[in-house]
Structure 1
Amino acid sequence: MKSWLVPLTKLHPSDRIAMYTLLENHFQGITWDGFQTDLARKNWVLLLRDEISHALKGFSTLMLCQTSFCGEKISVVYSGDTIVDPSAWSSTTLPRTWIAAVNFLRQQYADNKLYWLLICSGFRTYRFLPIFWKEFYPRYNKDTPILIENLMASLAQEYYGDCYDKATGIVRFKSPQILGDGLIEIPKGRQTNPHIQFFTTKSPGYRFGDELVCLTEICYENLTHAGQRMWEAESPLEFVQDSVLI
């Protein structure tokens, strides 16, 4: 597969339709208006396409911005809608190009610490954290430091407003997107994974669209060996009609 990092302002209408269709095929509760509203709050879209057919196989939307916490300027990546068609699950294109894209974008705010705030309604999304990041929160084997807990709460409150419940660390949308049966079920043999057990315990309403707020710092030193391989992998960036081909 090939991937393009596209500014939202350059996203083609046909891509919006393809993105919506892909979401609708794998989530319940998707509406065109809700999709458009969420997309409008982002400024970048990562598109994954089949090299031969050019069909959209996955995408991830994100917002990169600056804010302040405890008197310090920081940069934040907020993750939005993300989906990969099951036919492309064997590919590492999404994590590889997502890490490459963020590495490219962080150059806009090179002097600031960069954090990734993501919300997880499925165990597969949460599993990205222990695979690629050393320190992330919340996690099963380490309490969340007070400073990180406050940072997560501040960012989640700022972005999600009343949908965020600080006491539980959960974002609960009025019209949640719920993973389809084929994606929400945990395969046999994986229920005993401590990270997955923690996720289902921390967010027992994930089956109904509850989203667990998570945070990690994006820097090379915080990557696992797998993450560092993704970071270091050859992934040339080319500008194509104001977009970035990864």
Structure 2
Amino acid sequence: MIEAFLLPADQIPDADQRLMLALLQTHFEGVHWPQFQADLGGKDWVILLKSAGILKGFTTFGFYPAQWEGQTVRIVYSGDTITDPSMWSNPALAKAWTKAMQILHEARPEKLYWLLISSGYRTYRFLSIFAKEFYPHYLHPTPPPVQNFIHQLAQNKFQANYDPSLGIVRLPQPQVLTPNLRQVPTEKLGDRHVEFFLQKNPGHIQGDELVCLAEVSTENLTKAGLRIWHSSYAVNILN
């Protein structure tokens, strides 16, 4: 049984932090303690997935305000995110993240937008499970106002590391998948979302990150997202 825990980023026990780093290092090359700590230190919350006390996955994220079209909106920005391969077909992380958004934001008046950078097709693919509309998308070009907002957010956060002509972030210390995980399985190549991701981010093997944006609202949730939103799925809140 997979249990999900939501806790403030500054309250994660050191033992769990070490396990989080170890899980990252099994999937990415060049990830070290200072880099991991820097990501964690810039986030507000963490979701931990555990099975019988064993860490099976996690994601870090933080909230901050932004201005768009004359109003204050709220941005949720995802940082380090990983699951054990045994969890790749398990929706537990998607369920936990969706419920966390409901718990942490639902009562607030601002609109909420999810800023995600993705160097892997699995992360990008989650957008299509969660949101009806997200950008960039293979079906239609990003509307100019949304594209401008993406540029604004990415330039503010990543500065010179962001290439607006490509919508790509190249971090000074990119997270590069281990060799056994770099190749996309043949059976995934017929997936339009996966094919689009590979086209938009040809440097993903080197750790290039595609900047993505989706509104987090019940109006923009897919049927699957709405089922999670209205479900009794339990997230254990620790604080």
TM-score class, shorter-chain normalisation, is over 0.9
The secondary structure found in structure 2 opposite 1:227 is helix
* Structure 1 unpaired stretches of 5+: none
Partner residue, 1:99: 98
Counterpart Cα distance in 2 of 1:48 and 1:238: 10
Deviation at 1:239, TM superposition (A): 4.3
The secondary structure found in structure 1 opposite 2:186 is coil
Partner residue, 1:125: 123
Counterpart Cα distance in 2 of 1:187 and 1:238: 34
Partner residue, 1:197: 195
Counterpart Cα distance in 2 of 1:21 and 1:238: 23
Counterpart Cα distance in 2 of 1:21 and 1:170: 27
Counterpart Cα distance in 1 of 2:187 and 2:26: 26
The aligned amino acid for 1:18 is L
Q: TM-score, normalised by structure 2?
A: 0.95
Partner residue, 1:186: 184
Counterpart Cα distance in 1 of 2:121 and 2:187: 14
Partner residue, 2:13: 12
Partner residue, 1:172: 170
Deviation at 1:230, TM superposition (A): 1.6
Deviation at 1:179, TM superposition (A): 1.3
Counterpart Cα distance in 2 of 1:235 and 1:203: 34
Deviation at 1:193, TM superposition (A): 1.4
Counterpart Cα distance in 1 of 2:78 and 2:23: 17
- Asked if 1 retains the 8 angstrom alpha-carbon contact of 2:65 and 2:72, the reply is yes
- Asked if 1 retains the 8 angstrom alpha-carbon contact of 2:63 and 2:76, the reply is yes
Matched, 1:111 2:109: yes
The aligned amino acid for 2:20 is M
Matched, 1:86 2:79: no
Partner residue, 1:27: 28
Deviation at 1:154, TM superposition (A): 0.8
Deviation at 1:192, TM superposition (A): 2.0
The secondary structure found in structure 2 opposite 1:189 is helix
Counterpart Cα distance in 1 of 2:191 and 2:200: 14
Matched, 1:208 2:210: no
Structure 1 stretches of 4+ with a deviation exceeding 4 A read none
Counterpart Cα distance in 2 of 1:159 and 1:93: 29
Deviation at 1:90, TM superposition (A): 3.0
Counterpart Cα distance in 1 of 2:150 and 2:234: 33
The secondary structure found in structure 2 opposite 1:221 is coil
Counterpart Cα distance in 2 of 1:229 and 1:213: 27
Partner residue, 2:58: 59
- Asked if 1 retains the 8 angstrom alpha-carbon contact of 2:50 and 2:56, the reply is yes
Deviation at 1:188, TM superposition (A): 1.4
Deviation at 1:237, TM superposition (A): 5.1
The secondary structure found in structure 2 opposite 1:112 is coil
Q: Taking structure 1 as reference, are residues 46 and 239 closer, same or farther at Cα in structure 2, changes over 3 Å only?
A: closer
**More off after superposition, 181-190 vs 192-201:** 181-190
Deviation at 1:107, TM superposition (A): 3.6
Q: Taking structure 1 as reference, are residues 220 and 107 closer, same or farther at Cα in structure 2, changes over 3 Å only?
A: closer
The aligned amino acid for 2:186 is K
Q: Taking structure 1 as reference, are residues 28 and 56 closer, same or farther at Cα in structure 2, changes over 3 Å only?
A: same
Percent pairwise identity: 43
Q: Taking structure 1 as reference, are residues 65 and 205 closer, same or farther at Cα in structure 2, changes over 3 Å only?
A: same
Q: Taking structure 1 as reference, are residues 235 and 175 closer, same or farther at Cα in structure 2, changes over 3 Å only?
A: same
The secondary structure found in structure 2 opposite 1:235 is coil
Partner residue, 2:140: 142
Paired positions, count:
238
**More off after superposition, 128-137 vs 62-71:** 62-71
Partner residue, 1:68: 67
